[in-house]
Amino acid sequence: MSERESDAQAPASRYDAGMAVRREVLGDDHVDRAVAATTPLDADFQQFITETAWGSLWTRDDRLDRRTRSCITIALLVALRAEGELAMHLRAGLRNGLTPEEITEVILHTAAYAGIPAANAAMAVAKDVLRN
């Protein structure tokens, strides 16, 4: 698919493509729980993240592979101190082929640029996720 075709995808196909990638990266159990927990309050948000993050960005595998996208996402979540999302994306990184050692390296690298307190909090999350 060309860049123009990808950029011009109809929202329904972006949603479908996003849901497929979301399931591949996060796993059916996680996505099923998220879908089941959707309420009128967050339905538009769930559609937005599925179309935008998953259907427009994570589907661009010809530009960055999923392992690289996982590294970037983990680093950003560490830097933003988004521990609530971090555990989910640590598991996604493992599903995308990252090793625990590579995840540790991403956190260590992020510490130098985003700060030790952020990386320390992320390492606590990683220790919990990676031991399971």
Measured CA to CA, the distance from residue 91 to residue 112 in angstroms comes to 23
Q: Return the sign of the alpha-carbon dihedral for residues 81, 26, 18, 41.
A: negative
Q: How confident is the model at residue 61 (pLDDT cuts 50, 70, 90)?
A: confident
pTM for the full model? 0.86
Residue 84 and residue 34 share a domain: no
CATH (domain of 100): 1.20.1290.10
At residue 132, the pLDDT reads: 63
Which of 38, 57, 76 terminates a domain? The answer is 57
Residue 124 and residue 87 share a domain: yes
Q: Are 26 and 90 in contact (CB under 8 A)?
A: no
Q: How many domains does the chain have?
A: 2
Phi, psi (rounded to 5 degrees) for 96: -90, 5
At residue 62, the pLDDT reads: 84
What average pLDDT score do residues 64-68 get? 96
At residue 9, the pLDDT reads: 60
Across 4-18, 30-44, 57-71, least confident range: 4-18
Residue 50 and residue 80 share a domain: no
Which of 57, 74, 94 terminates a domain? The answer is 57
Residue 43 and residue 22 share a domain: yes
**CA 24 remoteness from chain centre:** 11
Interhelix angle for 66-79 vs 100-114, to 10°?
A: 40
